[in-house]
Chain A
Amino acid sequence: MGSRLLVVFGFLAAIGVAWHGPFPIFSQAVAAETGQSGRVPVPAPARGKGDACVADTDFMRRNHMAVLNHQRDDTVHEGVRTKRFSLKECIDCHAVNGADGVPVTVEDPKHFCRSCHDYAAVSVDCFQCHASRPDTAAMSVSPDEAAALSLRTYLAGVTR
């Protein structure tokens, strides 16, 4: 009887340790807020253009998938094309340039969406159909710019 009780208490204690410590669960959140990683690696998604996102960062972290899903139904079925929660606008604003100066696709781990989704091990299906970078044809790079860019890339390679 006594040994059985001991097992039960031991089990409860193990759950308690797993739940609260020795590494408190909120340490990740704190680290992400402050940008200090400490022992825990944290994702560092690239900042978007402009001053602020379309909603609070906290709101977007928790609810971006809900607003995107809602907007998607409104757009496909009812032709509502407001920009605020449009996936296309997210992609345009949060584009991350690669070494060649062209925005990276979701194939690249630097992609805005991937930086957190890889960390959280949540797969994202959007880009099986949707473009994961702004329209490259629409972004005209002048020949001078392209030459300067390739020179910069070359020099970066030489000095490394």
Chain B
Amino acid sequence: MNKLGDTERPEVADAREQTDVSRRAFLRAASALGGLALAPGVTLYAFGQEAEVRPADQAVTSQHRWGMLIDAGRCGDGCNACVTACADEHGWDADAASPTDAHWIRKVELRDPEGGLKRTLPMMCQHCASPPCVDVCPTGASFKRADGIVLVDKHTCIGCRYCMMACPYNARSFVHEPLADQKPYAPRGKGTVESCTMCVHRVDEGRQPACVEACADTAGGAMLFGDLNDPDSEISKRIASYATVEIRADLDLDTGVRYRNI
């Protein structure tokens, strides 16, 4: 039986049993080379730690919990690099004319009416440990992966949009129109709800999310991606060393995305 309760046919199971030998051998060789061979994509978030990419045939575990730390003090007013990077990566339109168009990440402006201090920050799915969107989903399409990434299984999504109403961050959007020419790694389609996937296709390859990469390359480097479960990761060290906040911490959702300087 698989996750959705279908019984697998025996001949299908047999075919899947045959492991891909050449791939295994390659992975073994690659892991022997260690950080050297796999370093470029990985050391970025591991910060010099031993490179570790999960083999493609192994399931995600709760050993890692992926999260982000965003420093609003370094987030440029008027800068949109993270938004355009996300839109380019996943094929949605960052300059959407309609408020009902897809938005996976958006810039939010905060202003203190007393002192006049102005801050901007990127807002997207906060990848909660106790996600309200998962609680309300009637089909189980909205789910949290073992490594903390909250996703929509669009094969199961019926487009009811309860999750959009449940999300306190207005992070999800609905596809109203038929789409064409989607990215091969980012399937999107009419009638389903979608949101930030924390670039799960990149994370599975040991790369960083597109927004984090763009922010580091072209903007202030306000975003940091890493493993919240690893006390030695850069993100965990920073969270331990200075004050960071969850937005709407009163809801007790234990978000994977934390902010500083707001």
Contacts and interface: CB of A to CB of B under 8 A. Distances in A.
Interface of A: 55, 59, 63, 66-67, 69-70, 72-74, 76-85, 88, 91-92, 105, 128-131, 134-136
B189 A105 contact: no
Interface in B159-209: 178-185, 187-190, 192, 200, 204
Nearest to B6: A69
A91 B225 CA distance: 32
A131 B153 contact: no
Where chain B touches its partner, the secondary structure class is: loop
Contact of B12 (A70, A79, A134): A70
B32 interface: no
Nearest to A129: B189
Nearest to B4: A73
Contacts of B59: 74, 78-80
B60 interface: yes
Contacts of B189: 128-129
Given A70-B6, A129-B179, 5 more contacts: A66-B8, A72-B155, A78-B60, A82-B23, A134-B184
A78 to B, nearest CB: 4
Contact of A82 (B56, B60, B146): B56
B155 A63 contact: no
The 6 closest A-B pairs by CB, nearest first: A129-B189, A78-B59, A129-B187, A79-B60, A131-B184, A81-B56
Contacts of A91: 184
Nearest to B57: A82
A136 B187 CA distance: 15
Nearest to B8: A70
Contacts of A77: 3, 143, 145, 153
B20 A84 contact: yes
Interface string B34-73: 0000000000000000000010111110000000000000
Q: How large is the interface on B (under 10, 10 to 19, 20 to 34, 35 or more residues)?
A: 35 or more
Contacts of B3: 73, 77
A76 B155 contact: yes
B12 A63 contact: yes
B58 A80 contact: yes
Contacts of A85: 16
B165 to A, nearest CB: 23
Nearest to B146: A78
A85 B20 CA distance: 11
A70 B16 contact: yes
Contacts of A131: 181-184, 187
Contacts of B190: 128
A129 B152 CA distance: 13
A88 B182 CA distance: 12
Contacts of A84: 20
B33 to A, nearest CB: 20
A66 B12 contact: yes
Nearest to B9: A66
B15 to A, nearest CB: 5
Given A76-B151, A130-B187, A59 B11 contact: yes
Contacts of A67: 12, 15-16
Q: Pick the most buried of B6, B16, B204: most chain A CB atoms within 10 A of its CB.
A: B16
